[in-house]
Structure 1
Amino acid sequence: MDTQVRQKVVGIDVSKGTLAACHMREGKTQHLETDNNKVGFKKLVKCCGTESLYVMEATGVYYLQLAYYLVEHGARVVVVNPVIIKRYIQMHLGKGKSDRKDAQWIMRYGQQTEVKQWQPEEQVIVECRQLEQVIEQLIKQKTMVINSLEALQLQPVGSGLAVKSLKQTLKMLEKQVKHIEDELIASLEKAFNKEMELLSSIPGIGRKTAGMLLLFAGGFKNMNNYRQLIAKAGLSPREYTSGTSIRGKVRITKMGGGLIRGKLFMCSFSAKKSNAACKALYDRLVAKGKNGKLALIAVCNKLLKQAFAIVKSGTSYQAEFANTSAK
């Protein structure tokens, strides 16, 4: 922390086309605005140097080229969740909004907070994430086509050509999804064969879910404990209570990880029957009067906990151990 305070910190507000940077020079706040491209990156490094700590928000994909460029040139980079910066500004009663102000707040956050250095992920993870994004888009298109097809078939008068066209499109999309999913899993199995086998050994987690989980966790390399994994998946419980009068339901945070949450929830139906620890947990919660959905969310958490422990230990799932740990 002391090192970070002494080190020059550069806060950067990133947008699609521009960068707004803020840093201190001789005790005075300095601002720099430049383009979000390599010409702008060179200008930024020339002004602030590679010895600085560059802090930026994870704004879509717009920060990635800059982050990669800075790391390649020997600079230290910190990438922060935008929600954290927003709450930091609110906590300090910040008012007004502009690129310059945001950059200054980001700089202050980097100066005052113990931050973790960012490193680019392995190439295979980045490539597989892109495949996953394409699959998501294709699935959305499939849903739109299915809805259009249903709407057409409900009409009293229908065009046979329109129906035929939509069915052909649906078939093509299904074929594309399957092809890309197969390529995605094959790539992960090639790069992370051992981890895929370990995750697939967990009852309730199939080959596709193992791949998605591995991709979601970035190969588990930057995960220090299972709570980080649960928080990233948005499965941490969030309680809403105040005094003795307000007693809200306990809900999950749902921050990030929507795709993996959905996949784990589907897996929880199988896990509560075939996975010893998950079954014991589910039965115990239901016996206490908890509703089925809450119990299934707890099973999702248990699956993530098992996944973390199994990958980190390098030991496949063992029912005997799971039975012991479930008590």
Structure 2
Amino acid sequence: MEQRKTIIGIDVSKKTLDVFIKTIEVHIQISNDSEGFKKLLALLKVNKLKPEDCLFVLEFTGGYEYRLVQFCQAKMFSYVRISGLALKRSMGMVRGKSDKIDAKRIAEYGDEKQSKLAAETGSLANIVRLKRLLSQREDFVADRKAYDHRYKELQYMMDLPDSDSILKRFKKTVADFQKLIEKTEDEIVKLIKANDAFQLNFELLTSIKGIGQINAWTMIAYTENFTSFQNGRQFGAYIGVVPYDFTSGTSIKAKSRTSKMANQQIKALLQMAARAAVLHNKELNLYYERRIALGKHHMAVMNEIKFKLVNIMFAVVKKQKPYVDKYKIAA
């Protein structure tokens, strides 16, 4: 029988880490930086806890935990990140909340689920870079839209000629942001092509009708190239496209609904993919029409389409084979 690990639960925030070591029932708060990590190493050394005997369990925040992950990789500590939704569901109804309490609850979750938790591997440097580039691109797109709106509004309201200096500056700003968007996208393309695993999965994802390069880049970034989620359902829950039943006995029978504790940014991005899929993917188009014919609401069906797309993306990556359009083959 494999020896159980010493579970170290960590509640992560931007500036601090609350650490709870399950076996010795010790809590410590440290800074989320190299100085804090030195204190943590010292604590483990005092208690004679070796790297190979420890498993760090922390919440997946999408950013604040990266320094800690890099520390774990450098010092050969095993670690696993858990979604906030999984942690919340495992705890049920709880009383009281603080970073210290959360760290202890994370450690207890890790101890209970230890046999089912698989330690993570691989470097996150390229993933972090990809996320930053995607975030920057999104900011540039939002700024371009804002200035383009001001330009058109001013032109309409004031009836100014194109030669007006104010309009010229707005127009130039819009053009400048467009150039920044293109430069950022060029850098993303280079990053993807420089990594064989990224490039292969990018090609597989874009073989799916409805999935363009922006959605493919985003999926690679937020699934950490399909290593941080075991299947499409897990990722679907993370972005809020998996409906859950809300029933209790015979008196409470609410409609199934998705979680609000989800990454709404990715969900919104998939909305465009779902629209394109309904128009150009025969299989999903027929599914959409069948559901609408049954009286389902348009937005509910579109949510189902998003979930189907997520499952298809995970399937092609798992099989490492491009999407096959069975209707095209039949024709």
1:297 is the counterpart of 2:303: yes
Query: Equivalent residue for 2:7?
Result: 9
Contact 1:121 1:218 (C-alpha < 8 Å) held by counterparts? no
State the Cα deviation string for residues 72-129 of structure 1 (Å, max 9, x = none): 11212232333444555553x332x433333222222222233342334453333211
1:230 is the counterpart of 2:231: no
Identity of aligned residues (%): 29
Task: Give secondary structure in 2 for the equivalent of 1:219.
Answer: coil
CA distance in 2, matches of 1:309, 1:136: 28
Query: Equivalent residue for 1:317?
Result: 323
* Deviation larger for 248-257 or 73-82: 248-257
State the Cα deviation string for residues 246-277 of structure 1 (Å, max 9, x = none): 55443333543433322322122232232232
Q: Which amino acid aligns with 1:106?
A: I
1:165 is the counterpart of 2:169: yes
* Deviation larger for 291-300 or 147-156: 147-156
State the Cα deviation string for residues 4-48 of structure 1 (Å, max 9, x = none): 4xx3222223333333322256x5x32323332212212211211
Query: Equivalent residue for 1:79?
Result: 81
Over 3 Å counting, the alpha-carbon distance change for 1:314 and 1:23 in structure 2 is: closer
CA distance in 1, matches of 2:61, 2:300: 32
Contact 1:277 1:323 (C-alpha < 8 Å) held by counterparts? no
Over 3 Å counting, the alpha-carbon distance change for 1:275 and 1:59 in structure 2 is: closer
Q: Which amino acid aligns with 1:168?
A: K
The Cα of 1:58 is off from its aligned counterpart by: 3.2
Gaps of 5+ in 1: none
CA distance in 1, matches of 2:152, 2:245: 40
The Cα of 1:236 is off from its aligned counterpart by: 0.5
TM-score by length of 1: 0.81
TM-score by length of 2: 0.80
CA distance in 1, matches of 2:271, 2:152: 27
Contact 2:59 2:81 (C-alpha < 8 Å) held by counterparts? yes
1:183 is the counterpart of 2:187: yes
Query: Equivalent residue for 2:34?
Result: 38
Over 3 Å counting, the alpha-carbon distance change for 1:174 and 1:35 in structure 2 is: same
Contact 2:282 2:327 (C-alpha < 8 Å) held by counterparts? no
Query: Equivalent residue for 1:18?
Result: 16
Query: Equivalent residue for 1:111?
Result: 111
Alignment of 1:80-229 (within 5 A): 80-89=82-91, 91=93, 93-95=94-96, 97-114=97-114, 115-146=117-148, 148-149=150-151, 152=154, 161-191=165-195, 192-229=198-235
State the Cα deviation string for residues 148-184 of structure 1 (Å, max 9, x = none): 55665576699x6554433332221222112212321
Contact 1:189 1:196 (C-alpha < 8 Å) held by counterparts? no
CA distance in 1, matches of 2:327, 2:193: 26
CA distance in 2, matches of 1:119, 1:208: 26
Aligned-CA RMSD value: 3.3
Q: Which amino acid aligns with 2:179?
A: K
Contact 2:85 2:261 (C-alpha < 8 Å) held by counterparts? no
The Cα of 1:319 is off from its aligned counterpart by: 2.5
CA distance in 2, matches of 1:86, 1:227: 17
Task: Give secondary structure in 2 for the equivalent of 1:253.
Answer: coil
CA distance in 1, matches of 2:230, 2:22: 33
CA distance in 2, matches of 1:222, 1:56: 13
Contact 1:233 1:254 (C-alpha < 8 Å) held by counterparts? no
Give the number of equivalent residue pairs.
Answer: 318
Over 3 Å counting, the alpha-carbon distance change for 1:232 and 1:170 in structure 2 is: same
Q: Which amino acid aligns with 1:317?
A: Y
CA distance in 1, matches of 2:329, 2:304: 16
